[in-house]
Amino acid sequence: MARTIDPIRLAQFMVLPGAGELIEAFAALPPGAIRDSAVSHVQVLAQAYATGPFQPEPTRMAEPRPLRLESPFAVDLKAESPEGQIVERLLRGERPDQVADDLGLGLGLITGIMGRARREGGVVFPGDAERKPAKAKAGKRKQRKPHRFPIPPPPYWWEDPSSPHWESSTGLPSLADDAKGSIAAIGPNDRRTYSVMLRAAERRGMTLRQYIALRYEIVRRVEAGESITPLAMDIRVVPQDIYGLLSAIGRGRMSVALEASRKAVDGPEPLPGPEDRPEPQGAPRGSLGPARPIAPYRLASGLSARMAAAKLWGFADVEAFEAARVEVREMRLSGYGPGLIEQKLGQPGGFVKAALEFWHGEGVRFPGIKLKAPRKRGAA
């Protein structure tokens, strides 16, 4: 049953401001859920208002900021730019935090301006003399060099067949001085070199005794005058291993060449003077020409140049490099052109060209290259 309204209360409602608009809006709503929602919404508002009238929060007035006196350090500044005025105030003795608070700036900005003035202008602010030097960063510390033990004098431990080090490296120093250039490099002087030589011996199927004995045998045979390549083929090692051993004990190719040069200079037989040398004779076309004397002091430099050239062109050693250059010379003297020499020897064109230039500098006169006459068209 629909709820009825008291006529007196209806009359009181009709004289309220906005009652007409409210009735027209309510009548415009279609009956159903929307009208029920509007009624429920108005009832909720009425219940909320019945608890007490709405009291708006009083507006808080901002408290007046106390007036601040002008800093005495900011009076009669000579600089025109803001950065210059900041530096000038700091030079007068004002603290950076006071400047930042007075200007409403961050303290980091003030300290940045101070640092730039120190670096670029060499400005010294009050109190800089009392500043502690900045600590070095951990990444920039110098690395301490490891301590190395000196090489003991001979006899060395591997010269004693009953030495306990043949079974273990216990008792050897962890790191010893570099023994390169002396016979002490033929064996291990510390635990690190011991493990390296032990692994090298195991790769060859040897014990450490056999491996060091092999190194002594290589040195003995080289000093007896045996060539490197036949020696390497006999003991089944690569020539680079022999060269490495000789360089380690100070008997490398450069050292041997220098020693030979020194012996030639200091020997009992004096070098021929300019008056003792025969006059060079003209060589026939296609011959090697007169032999050119090589000065002893140029022997080592020429050997090092040949070593570098052999490595550049991919030869195993200097002997193979020299043999290839001789083949190029002989084929060119036989009348072959550079292109044909390159095809027959299987060498790159750059190597053939460099070899021919070398022999030309040595005085070799090569014959001309005969070109076949072009065939005429239509000829049988």
Architecture of domain 72-128: Orthogonal Bundle (1.10)
Task: State the CB neighbour count (10 A cutoff) for residue 222.
Answer: 18
pLDDT tier for residue 303 given thresholds of 50, 70 and 90: low
Q: Which tokens sit at 269?
A: 């037989």
pLDDT at 284: 43
- Higher-confidence position of 100 and 378: 100
pLDDT at 288: 39
pLDDT at 123: 85
pLDDT at 41: 81
User: What would the pLDDT profile of 321-355 be if each residue is shown by its tens digit?
Assistant: 888 888 888 888 888 888 888 888 888 888 888 88
Q: Which of 123-137, 275-289, 338-352 has the lowest mean pLDDT?
A: 275-289
pLDDT exceeds 70 at position 8: yes
Question: What mean pLDDT value characterizes the chain?
Answer: 75
Q: What is the sign of the dihedral through the CA atoms of 181, 184, 190 and 194?
A: positive
pLDDT exceeds 70 at position 132: no
